[in-house]
C-alpha cells in the first residue's frame, strides 16, 4: 500500500486523484500540481482524503496536521481531511483555537473510498 490522495467536492464528487510516482507507504511528496488543483477548485472544495498503511482507526501525523493547516491558511477556508486505512476512514476538522487543533469527525459520504483504497495498492501512478 502506498499513500494516495483524492480531492473531493462537498457532495463527494471526485475532482482529482493524486498518485505521484515518488509516493511511498508513509508519504506523499509535495506537489505543485496538487496545490494548483486545490487553488483552482477552492470555491467548491469539500476536502482531501489520503491513505495510511495498516488497519484500524487512523490518526494524523504531525506532518499531516501542518499540511492541513498550511493548505487551509493558503486557501482561506476550512476543509475536511479524511485519512483511510484498509479498515477504517476518519475525517478530521479544525476545532481550534490552536493552529493544529484538528479532531475526528464523522466520515460522512465517501463514495470514493473503495477506489482510493484500490489506487493505494498500486506502487506507481501519475505525476
Per-residue pLDDT of the chain (127 residues; tens, 9 = 90+): 899 999 999 999 999 999 988 888 788 888 899 999 999 999 999 999 999 999 999 999 999 999 999 999 999 999 999 999 999 999 999 999 999 999 999 888 899 999 999 999 865 444 3
Structural domain includes residue 87: yes
Structural domain includes residue 126: no
Number of domains the chain is built from: 1
Q: Which residues constitute the domain of residue 40?
A: 5-120
State the DSSP string of 44-71: T--EEEEE-SSSSS----HHHHHHHHHH
Structural domain includes residue 77: yes
Structural domain includes residue 72: yes
Structural domain includes residue 99: yes
User: Which triple of cell numbers denotes residue 113?
Assistant: 473510498
Q: Which residue has the cell 482507526?
A: 57
Structural domain includes residue 127: no
pTM as predicted: 0.92
Amino acid at each position: 500500500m502506498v499513500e494516495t490522495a483524492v480531492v473531493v467536492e462537498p457532495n463527494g464528487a471526485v475532482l482529482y486523484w493524486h498518485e505521484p510516482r515518488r509516493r511511498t507507504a508513509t508519504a506523499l511528496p509535495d506537489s505543485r500540481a496538487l496545490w494548483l488543483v486545490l487553488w483552482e477548485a477552492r470555491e467548491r472544495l469539500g476536502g482531501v482524503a489520503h491513505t495510511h498503511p495498516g488497519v484500524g482507526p487512523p490518526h494524523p501525523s504531525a506532518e499531516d496536521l501542518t499540511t492541513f493547516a498550511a493548505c487551509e491558511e493558503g486557501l482561506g477556508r476550512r476543509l475536511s481531511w479524511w485519512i483511510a486505512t484498509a479498515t477504517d476512514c476518519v475525517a478530521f476538522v479544525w476545532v481550534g483555537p490552536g493552529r493544529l487543533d484538528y479532531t475526528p469527525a464523522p466520515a460522512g459520504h465517501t463514495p470514493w473510498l473503495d477506489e482510493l483504497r484500490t489506487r493505494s495498492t498500486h506502487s506507481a501512478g501519475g505525476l
